[in-house]
Amino acid sequence: MKKLSGVVVVVLLAATLAFAWTFTPRPLPVPDAPGPQLPPPPAVRATIAVAETGVLESNALFAYRGGGFEPRPFGMDVFVVRHPQGTLLFEAGFGRHLHEHLQSVPWLMRVLSKVQPATPLDAQLKAAGLPPERLAGVFLTHTHWDHVGALQDLPGVPVYLPRVERDFIAHGGEATALLRSFGELNYRLYDFDGPPYAGFAASHDVFGDGSVVVVPAGGHTPGAVVAFVRGADHDYALIGDQAWQREGVDIPAEKPWLSRLMVDDDAAGVRRNLVDLHRLQQANPRLLVVPSHDRRVTATLPRLAPAQS
């Protein structure tokens, strides 16, 4: 009996050490060759502004391998992209019914995080002179619950998704349960009908002038995308949850095992994307890589301002 309990203690100790190891620093290997260049700046530029829909309290430990225990507010931020042909949202963040929506969230996620809503997105948009009927559409970097909540408050607005991500809503388990619960939205499916772009295999040029280009970057979810927005002073790569915090791209470093287990569909795909984004960032000094949830990055972008009356 004594021998058996000794074995149990050793096994538990080994499991604890192995689990702790999954949080330790482990930079991803980066090839030596220079990264790809973005195409030359297009003639027409887009502008970007941020609307904050709330915060999920977390910490660096869960965001990337090697992160410490310091608290990190994960911003639920929406990017308002204005272009002469129309205004788009990228992401939809938290909605008005956040606490109801939380019931659909994986329990471990609920236990590990505390949420704080901000002014509802639809109210912020209305104050900025952007009621739903004035929006050309919402692009989602992927369909997880924390990126889609406010779609419920923007009835009828077109929701743009690549085909494979539209299919993922049906079989994405708890992570896409919230979007499933919204039923049939005004989905518009798009294909990656354009050439390779910035090292990614294909592209979809939203306005046809190179100012807003979406590329396939599956991994976090099968149809996850990265959106490039070409502005006057900066180019932006809206990378969704490829990395939860900028260190994921800067180091580059993947999420620790527990986080990957909870949220990443294909960890190898995310690793490839992180290395590609790291190299792209190094080769393009004008490019700002923007993880959806890193407030230290999104706080540097212009805010969505109320319309002048």
Smallest gap from Cβ 220 to Zn ion, in A, equals 6
Nearer to Zn ion by Cβ, of 231 and 256: the residue is: 256
Q: What is the DSSP string of 38-107?
A: PPPPPSS--EEEEEEEEEEEEEHHHHSTT--S-EEEEEEEEEEEEETTEEEEE-----TTHHHHGGGS-H
Nearer to Zn ion by Cβ, of 91 and 241: the residue is: 241
CA distances from 243 to 19, 147, 255, 291, 294 (A): 21, 14, 7, 6, 9
Of 45, 72, 144, 293, the one binding Zn ion (CB under 5 A) is: 144
Q: Which of residues 105-134 bind Zn ion (CB under 5 A)?
A: none
Give the strand pairing for 86-90 and 137-139: parallel
- Residue 303 exposed, middle or buried by CB count within 10 Å (0-12, 13-18, 19+): middle
Nearer to Zn ion by Cβ, of 83 and 144: the residue is: 144
What are the backbone dihedrals phi and psi of residue 77, each rounded to the nearest 5 degrees, phi first?
-110, 140
Nearest to Zn ion by Cβ — which residue? Answer: 144
x/- map, 192-231, Zn ion, by CB under 5 A: ----------------------------------------
Integer Cα distance of 111 and 297 in angstroms:
26
Smallest gap from Cβ 246 to Zn ion, in A, equals 16
Of 165, 241, 265, 276, the one binding Zn ion (CB under 5 A) is: 241
Task: Name the segment binding Zn ion (CB under 5 A); options: 11-19, 109-117, 230-238, 240-248.
Answer: 240-248
What count of residues does the chain have?
309
Task: Name the segment binding Zn ion (CB under 5 A); options: 85-93, 143-151, 208-216, 230-238.
Answer: 143-151
Nearer to Zn ion by Cβ, of 59 and 282: the residue is: 59
Smallest gap from Cβ 145 to Zn ion, in A, equals 8
Smallest gap from Cβ 103 to Zn ion, in A, equals 18
- Are 52 and 118 spatial neighbours (Cβ–Cβ below 8 Å)? yes
Task: Name the segment binding Zn ion (CB under 5 A); options: 1-9, 63-71, 109-117, 241-249.
Answer: 241-249
Nearer to Zn ion by Cβ, of 239 and 287: the residue is: 239
Smallest gap from Cβ 136 to Zn ion, in A, equals 24
Smallest gap from Cβ 263 to Zn ion, in A, equals 5
Integer Cα distance of 172 and 265 in angstroms:
9
Nearer to Zn ion by Cβ, of 87 and 141: the residue is: 141
Smallest gap from Cβ 303 to Zn ion, in A, equals 24
Residue 226 is given by DSSP the state: E
CA neighbor of 204 nearest in space, from 218, 189, 219: 189
Integer Cα distance of 108 and 195 in angstroms:
40
Q: How far is CA 54 from the centre of its chain?
A: 15
Smallest gap from Cβ 305 to Zn ion, in A, equals 28
| Count, residues near Zn ion per rule CB under 5 A | 2
- Catalog residues that contact Zn ion under the rule CB under 5 A: 144, 241
